[in-house]
């Protein structure tokens, strides 16, 4: 069966950056499973998987525009240290949910200087070209419930399960 709209796809992958550093991998874990066409994975990877079949292996390069987007300088801001009330020690790498006019946004602390904290609301992989080494493990038709919900249901999930 070919990968198409409303198929469930399970695949193993290794994700590397342009330098060849491994950023993520399914090695030693279950394959990543998603509902094709529902926007559950980045657009550039989903587009390259279209029409493929179980057992195929491929290398996919995804540019930032079809991955996690370009880096947006406007999402990097300096905020006063007192905006982090209740947090004793604010350090680079810490993540917080910020309330913005557009809704909640995850931000990462990138720098702390005195009473000023620099936060970045860009996805950690924004602006990066991503290289995927993919092996397709399984392709199947999605159930009606999966199509209605817009995502794959794991084992044990079913009618009346409201945890997803």
List the chain pLDDT tens, one digit each, 164 residues.
999 999 999 999 999 999 999 999 999 999 999 999 999 999 999 999 999 999 999 999 999 999 999 999 999 999 999 999 889 999 999 999 988 888 899 999 999 999 999 999 999 999 999 999 999 999 999 999 999 999 998 754 444 434 33
Q: Which helix (H) or strand (E) holds 108?
A: strand 103-113
Longest Cα separation, the chain: 59
HSE, CB side, 13 Å, CA atoms: give it for residue 148. Answer: 5
pTM score, two decimals? 0.80
162, part of any domain = no
Residues 61 and 139 in one domain: yes
What pLDDT sits at residue 101?
Answer: 86
What pLDDT is recorded for position 161? 39
**156 falls within a domain:** no
Residues 59 and 100 in one domain: no
| Domain total in the chain | 2
Domain that holds residue 87: 73-120
Are 130 and 64 contained in the same domain?
yes
User: How many angstroms separate the CA atoms of 38 and 34, rounded?
Assistant: 8
User: What pLDDT was estimated at residue 80?
Assistant: 95
User: Quick one: 54 and 86 in the same domain?
Assistant: no
CATH at residue 94:
2.40.10.330
């Amino acid at each position: 069966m070919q990968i198409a709209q409303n198929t469930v796809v399970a695949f193993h992958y290794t994700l590397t950056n342009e330098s060849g550093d491994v950023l993520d991998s399914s090695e030693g874990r279950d394959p990543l499973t998603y509902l094709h066409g529902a926007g559950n994975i980045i657009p550039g990877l989903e587009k390259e998987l279209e029409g493929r079949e179980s057992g195929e292996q491929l290398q996919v390069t995804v540019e930032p525009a079809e991955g996690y987007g370009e880096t947006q300088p406007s999402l990097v801001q300096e905020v006063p240290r007192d905006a982090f009330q209740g947090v004793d020690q604010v350090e680079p790498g810490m993540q917080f949910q910020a309330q913005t006019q557009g809704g909640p946004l995850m931000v990462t602390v990138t720098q702390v200087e005195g009473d000023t904290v620099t936060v970045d609301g860009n996805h950690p992989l924004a602006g990066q070209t991503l290289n995927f080494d993919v092996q397709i493990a399984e392709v199947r038709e999605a159930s009606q419930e999966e199509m209605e919900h817009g995502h794959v249901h794991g084992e044990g999930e079913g009618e009346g399960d409201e945890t997803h």
